[in-house]
């Protein structure tokens, strides 16, 4: 976690410095606000990772002298293939299209999202497809 934290905090500092330069040099607000938001989006997970890296035991990835065998072990299981993430994406797509083309698109959007939600829960409880 230390490597990830340092990378994100450095990236946040970089965005902060570029934000200050850009905002003062260009006198344009939109780009400066976006760089400021990018800086915050780097500092938020970076500070969280840094906070946790000081409280947890060191991982093999954080130790520069670690061997490859120290990082080996059981990875766990991965979920099987499922159609429900695609169905949820299509439901979200139709729901957002309802903002542009009309409220009538909420019906298929919410129906697809509900189906994906219930199907994902059911699939997760019975173990998914194999």
Mean pLDDT for all residues in the chain: 89
pLDDT higher than threshold 70 for residue 127? no
- Taking residue 52's Cβ as centre, other Cβ atoms within 10 Å add up to 13
Contact 60, 71 (CB under 8 A): yes
Whole-number Å distance between alpha carbons of 87 and 120: 10
Whole-number Å distance between alpha carbons of 63 and 53: 12
Summarised one tens digit per residue, pLDDT across range 93-119 is 999 999 999 999 999 999 999 999 999
The model's confidence at residue 79, banded by pLDDT at 50, 70 and 90, is low
Least confident of 6-15, 26-35, 46-55, 59-68: 59-68
Tell whether pTM > 0.75. Answer: no
Least confident of 75-79, 86-90, 91-95, 99-103: 75-79
Locate the domains of the chain by residue range.
Answer: 2-62, 84-126
pLDDT higher than threshold 60 for residue 128? no
Pick the residue with more confidence: 80 or 49?
49
């Amino acid at each position: 976690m230390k490597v990830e934290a340092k990378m994100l905090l450095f990236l946040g500092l970089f965005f902060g410095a570029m934000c200050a330069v850009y905002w003062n040099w260009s006198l344009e607000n939109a780009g400066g606000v976006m760089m400021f938001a990018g800086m915050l989006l780097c500092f938020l997970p970076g500070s969280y990772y840094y906070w946790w890296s000081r409280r947890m035991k060191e991982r093999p990835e954080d130790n520069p002298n670690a061997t490859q065998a120290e990082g080996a072990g059981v990875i766990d299981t991965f979920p099987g293939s499922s159609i429900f993430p695609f169905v949820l994406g299509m439901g979200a797509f139709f729901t957002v299209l309802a903002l542009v083309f009309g409220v009538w698109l909420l019906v298929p959007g919410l129906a697809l999202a509900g189906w994906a939600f219930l199907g994902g829960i059911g699939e997760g409880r019975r173990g998914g497809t194999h």
